Structure formats: C-alpha cells, structure tokens
Structure 1
C-alpha cells in the first residue's frame, strides 16, 4: 500500500502539468524578487488573460492530437485571424453587431475545419500538408478580403468582457476559460464521443471494428478545432480592439506546446491514457 502511494505521488510530481504549474510559481517568485510588484494580483490576472486566449485554441488542438494519425492542425493561426477579421468587420465598433460577429467567427472557421477533416479523412492527405495548405489559402483570402490593411473594430461590450473585471475582479474571458476546461473534461471523460476519440487515437483499426464511426469523428474533431480557433479570434479582437490578417500566426506552435505541457503526447491518445486502458484497447 505504501509503495502504491509513493508511486502515485511520484507520478503526480512528474506529470507535465504539475511541473508546468511549479515552474510558473517559481517564475512568479523570481520575478517578484527581481521586480517587486511583478506578482501582484492585477499582473497575474493580465497573465492569465493572455493564457486564456491560448488555452481556448489549445483545446481544439488537443482534440485533433488525441484523435491520432499524427494529427496536428497548423491552420489554427490562420483561422484565428479569419475569426478576428470577420468578427471585427461584423461589429465595426458597435454592440449591436456582436451576435452576427459570433456566428461568423465561430461558423466559418468550423466549416473550414470540416474541410480540413474531409481532406485528411476522405482524400487521405497528411494532416500537416492539408492544414498547412489551408493556411496558405486562408491567408490569401484574408489579403483579398481586407486589402492587406487592418479592418474592423471590437464592440465596446466585447472589449470590456475580455479586459475588464466581470466579477470578483476577474475578467469574463477567464470564466469562459474555466467553463471550457470543464466542458472539455466532461466531453472527453464522461461521454461516448470522448471515449471514441481515445479509442481511435489509441488503435484506429480496433475502434473501427467495434463500430465507432472513425471518419465522422475525425472530421468533427477538425471542425471543433476550427470552431475553437474562431472563438479565439473573437477573444483576440476583444483583447486588442482591432484585427489584422496575421494576428493569429503567433498561436500556432504555442497551441501545440500547450497541449504537450498539459500532458497529451503527440503520439495521440495511446500515450495519454493509463496502462490498463492501453492493454484493453490493444
């Protein structure tokens, strides 16, 4: 029993997420020692706001990686830019345009993600090639749409929601981040869809044999990645106030790194679940 507890404690301490949290705390302490005031509440909230934006796009990236077949969505940066530009032009600084901005920022990238999924699943294009090609297509479309200049402005209500305290001194985007984290936990751990994602990521052939619609699930995973990227674009324009065609480029590699730090292996679901489940799925 004692050895079991020690092994469990060792596993927790060596978990990538635990190490990331400890490293963050250490950096805050070092920053406070070097520059007093660095670890104040307002500064921490500002850091968490930036982290929340990255966390939203990483949620979609995580789904694609868990689905296996070396899935990585390199088009999330372009879809963030797409969502931000579409939302900015739909709102154009007016609160009345938030509804249509949300529909466009979420709906269009979702459809683009579905196209990615079809290309990967039906046409059998490698994920890196398909999503990188989609990036080029979207960047070209954005240049034509915006004429290469910043366009659109965030509505005051959206900017306030992202940047200003909503409750308890915490901006609204952090509540969205927490709600999304709980949703992802429930989706992956408590639903048949989540179990299907883990199963196909661990052994796609076995998942097919037990009746899981692997193609349909994988297409949907890329669609959800696009949807989360579009939501990130909506948050980005709320954070910055305006948009430009390359605003999402900086989130591509960090979204993959965030997934890995969170404990998901680039090998897919097989490395993300425990040994007993791996044995069953094999």
Structure 2
C-alpha cells in the first residue's frame, strides 16, 4: 500500500489508465506513431518543467510565473539569430539561453537582494517581458527556424524516435546527476528543507536561490528554441500555455510546493501524464477553456493532497 501511494507509481498508473481510455475513445491513441508524437510534445513540457522543478525544490513558496514569457523571448531571439540558416543553429541556442538566463538571474536577484516575494517578482517580470515582446515584434511573427532544426525535432532519428526525445533524455540524465551528486544540487535540497539550518551549515543560500532562478530562465530559453523548431515561427503568447502545466508536472511527480524533497524523475512522468491528458481531451473534442479548467482543477486537487502534510518549511 505504501508503494501504491508513491507519487511516481501513481503517475505511472495514471499514464497507463489514460492510454487505455484513449485507445477506447479513439482507436490508435496508444499506437506507436501517436506515442512518438506525444513524446515530442511531452519533451518540450519536460524541459521547461525542469527549471520549474529547481525553483520549487528550493522552497520558500518558490514558483516561477515568468517561464512562459521567457519561453517566448527565447524563441524570438533564437528565430531572429537563425533566420532560417542551418549554420546559425548553435548561435541561436546560445543567444536564447544567454538572454533568458539573464532575465532569470534578475528574478533571483530581486527575490534575494530586494526580498520581493517570488510570485510577485516573477509575475512582474512576465509582464515586462510580454511588453518587450510586443515592442520588438509589433504583434507580428518574427524570426524563422532553421530547416535542419525542424527536421531534428520532428523527423525520426534512431529507431523511429525524433531527435528531440534524445535531447530530453540527455538533459534528464544531467539534471538528475546534478541534483543527486553535485554540491550545488545538494544545496538546493538543503535550503528547500530548512533555509536557516542550511545557512548555519555554511550553504550559500543567496547564491543557490539566485542559481535556481537563473537556471529556470535558461531552461525556458531552451524550450523556446525547441518550440521554434517545432512550430517553425514565433508568435506572442506562445509560452502562456506552459506556465500552469509546468507547475502541475512537478507536483504530480512528487515534489511538494514546500520544496526540499522530490526530483526530476517524477517530473518526467508528470510531463508525460499531462501531455496524454491533453491529447485525450483533444480526442474527446473538449474546448480549450475546458482543458484549462481541468488543468486548474488537477492543481487544486494536488494542493489539497499535499497541503495535508506539515506546514511549509522555513
């Protein structure tokens, strides 16, 4: 029974249930081709949720509400640097990560130095970036993906699996190692469990908290780069649909909003589960506003479950 209550096990069972329901509602839902497409979409959610995972693990009610806006900014920067040129793919990725990482760094400095609450700081930053996007684009699509990037993300690379899925797997391995084996990763768990105890133990609390927000910005930039390759163009608000799911994926995977426990393995399962859920809702012809309501209800339900634990750590 204890095993069945484990968040990762529950997420796995939910994934199997969604596949079974989807196959019953729309035959072919659990087919190989459909699953490959779902994994590509899950990979993009999984990458942006990686940064959100780090912020939430660090505790202090940390949630990054600016990830959607930074995703759009990363896509815009990458698209304009590449402008359809295969030779500029790496330059586009580097520029996107540098810019969004810098905005994430500003989030971290505002939260730690100016002591602005994370929700307020990141929400305000989202507004600033959205306004900047409108100024830079005048509300029109701007920038183009390189054809080679689009082929890498969409077309099969090895054993029928698109390259994006391998990129996600590589990032997952690196992030899991970072959290479990590196000093910086262990510091994140320490400040999420008890910030004052971590400070007294010599953990650089301020630097660690700034780091997680900078990394969240960088992961948002990577996601923007990947989504640009998937959609082949940039438009205002492209990242808005990823903000709430990035939080839900982390919580479904067993990382409580109080921080200090959990990890990225569960977030991977959460990203896959949400992607399948959204695909199932599409197959059932539920309108976008209905899907958003369901996502919100899922988050509220999870908060009711995790909110029954001990009070938030300080």
Verify same fold: TM over 0.5: yes
Q: For 1:186, which of 177, 185, 204 is the aligned residue? A: 177
Shift of 1:34: 2.7
Deviations 1:197-226 (A, max 9, x none): 111111111111111110001101100000
Count of equivalent residues: 266
Aligned to 1:162: 153
Aligned to 2:19: 28
Alignment of 1:4-23 (within 5 A): 10-23=1-14
Aligned to 2:164: 173
Shift of 1:26: 1.4
1:218 aligns with 2:209: yes
Distance 2:246 2:169 in 1: 17
Shift of 1:14: 1.3
Q: For 2:102, which of 111, 121, 126 is the aligned residue? A: 111
Aligned to 2:44: 53
Shift of 1:65: 0.5
Shift of 1:39: 1.2
Shift of 1:32: 1.6
Shift of 1:148: 0.9
Q: Is the 8 A contact 1:85 1:245 kept in 2?
A: no
Of stretches 183-192 and 132-141 in structure 1, the one that deviates more from structure 2 is 183-192
Aligned to 2:272: none
RMSD: 1.6
Structure 1 unpaired stretches of 5+: 1-9
1:241 aligns with 2:239: no
Shift of 1:149: 0.5
Shift of 1:112: 0.5
Q: Is the 8 A contact 2:142 2:234 kept in 1?
A: yes
Aligned to 1:43: 34
Q: Is the 8 A contact 2:72 2:224 kept in 1?
A: yes
Q: Could you say what secondary structure the match of 1:14 adopts? A: coil
Distance 1:22 1:142 in 2: 41
Shift of 1:11: 3.0
Aligned to 2:293: none
Of stretches 185-194 and 111-120 in structure 1, the one that deviates more from structure 2 is 185-194
Q: Is the 8 A contact 2:253 2:262 kept in 1?
A: no
Alignment of 1:92-103 (within 5 A): 92-103=83-94
Q: TM-score if structure 1 supplies the norm length?
A: 0.91
Distance 1:28 1:209 in 2: 48
Structure 2 unpaired stretches of 5+: 264-309
Deviations 1:114-148 (A, max 9, x none): 00000000100000000000000000111111111
Alignment of 1:142-153 (within 5 A): 142-153=133-144
Distance 1:12 1:168 in 2: 33
Q: Is the 8 A contact 1:82 1:245 kept in 2?
A: no
Q: TM-score if structure 2 supplies the norm length?
A: 0.82
Distance 1:249 1:123 in 2: 27
Distance 1:147 1:12 in 2: 53
Q: Could you say what secondary structure the match of 1:166 adopts? A: strand
